[in-house]
């Protein structure tokens, strides 16, 4: 397979690769040289205290935020930049749109359109952004709503659903874009514990299918159960990373031990 710039892509090419990423808001340095790799079919979870840079890293990967230094590489294709430092921006608009449409993001707040039915919410982006045939998209949307367990809610509006159902609709919407990877930003933190488990089950099912995912989460049990690799961020740097069994079972740094102790308690 070749991308539009001629880059050759193999099964071993990571879907997302981030190298030496730096991000600041004015004088506040949020990311201080971070490296992340998400191979095809793998789940990478980002954990850490509030303010450690997890969500910012996810938004930089999806080009929703501009970083000041470092590389973002999608399926072997480096993002083209123009400008430097605080003035750095993506230099190829078509490339940016292509990458964003292949990295579907699920946010903490569900961001569903209140005036549209659930089916219309799921269909909107594939029809308007990808210009796919409406009938084809409707069939796919119904399939994905069935997959996340709310196929019977196609004709209702977001306000008529529970928080867990709304988040599952948001996941179906992300899946309907047929992305190369899914990015989850604290997908369960706005939910009550009972509703949280509905969403965790869907994410576990997606992981079992071999979907490529990067998940920012406060749920250590989910991170342990679904991840191939876990990254612990502290003050904008990677403090520790590794397979979940190793990271949670035998943390090497005092900071991670303290974080896990506080999280469990």
Q: Give the SS3 label for residue 39.
A: coil
CB burial of residue 84 (10 Å; 0-12, 13-18, 19+): exposed
Which two structure tokens, joined as six digits, stand for 63?
Answer: 């080009």
Residue 152 CB neighbours (<10 A): 10
Q: Which domains does the chain have, with CATH numbers?
A: 16-115+181-264 (3.40.50.300)
| 143, two tokens | 């399939």
Per-residue pLDDT band at 140 (split at 50, 70, 90): very high
Residue 153, φ and ψ in degrees, nearest 5:
-110, 15
Contacts (Cβ under 8 Å, ≥6 apart) of 223: 45, 47, 215, 217, 230, 244, 248
More confident of the two residues 190 and 121? 121
User: pLDDT for 75-117, tens place per residue?
Assistant: 999 999 999 999 999 999 999 999 999 999 999 888 999 999 9
Contact in structure between 99 and 88 (CB atoms under 8 Å): no
For the whole model, what pTM was predicted? 0.92
Kindly report, residue by residue over 214-251, the tens digit of the pLDDT.
999 999 999 999 999 999 999 999 999 999 999 999 99
SS3 assignment, position 213: strand
């Amino acid at each position: 397979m070749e991308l539009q710039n001629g880059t050759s892509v193999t099964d071993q090419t990571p879907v997302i690769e981030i190298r030496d990423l730096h991000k600041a808001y004015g004088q506040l340095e949020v990311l201080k040289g971070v490296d992340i790799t998400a191979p095809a079919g793998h789940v990478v979870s980002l954990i850490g205290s509030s303010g450690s840079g997890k969500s910012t890293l996810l938004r930089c990967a999806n080009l929703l935020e501009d970083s000041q230094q470092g590389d973002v590489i999608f399926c072997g294709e480096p993002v083209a930049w123009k400008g430097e430092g605080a003035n750095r921006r993506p230099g190829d608009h078509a490339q940016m749109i292509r990458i964003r449409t292949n990295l579907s993001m699920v946010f903490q707040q569900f961001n569903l359109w209140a005036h549209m039915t659930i089916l219309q919410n799921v269909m909107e982006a594939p029809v308007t952004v990808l210009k796919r045939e409406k009938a084809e998209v409707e069939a796919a949307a119904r399939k994905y709503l069935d997959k996340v367990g709310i196929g019977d809610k196609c004709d209702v509006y977001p306000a008529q659903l529970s928080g867990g159902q709304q988040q599952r609709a948001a996941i179906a919407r992300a899946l309907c874009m047929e992305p190369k990877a899914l990015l989850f930003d604290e997908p369960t933190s706005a939910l009550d514990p009972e509703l949280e488990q509905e969403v965790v089950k869907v994410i576990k099912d997606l992981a079992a299918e071999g979907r490529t995912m990067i998940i920012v989460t406060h749920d250590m049990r989910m991170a342990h159960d679904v991840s191939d690799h876990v990254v612990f961020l502290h003050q904008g740097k990677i403090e520790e990373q590794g397979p979940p069994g190793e990271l949670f079972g035998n943390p090497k740094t005092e900071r991670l031990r303290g974080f896990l102790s506080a999280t469990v308690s």
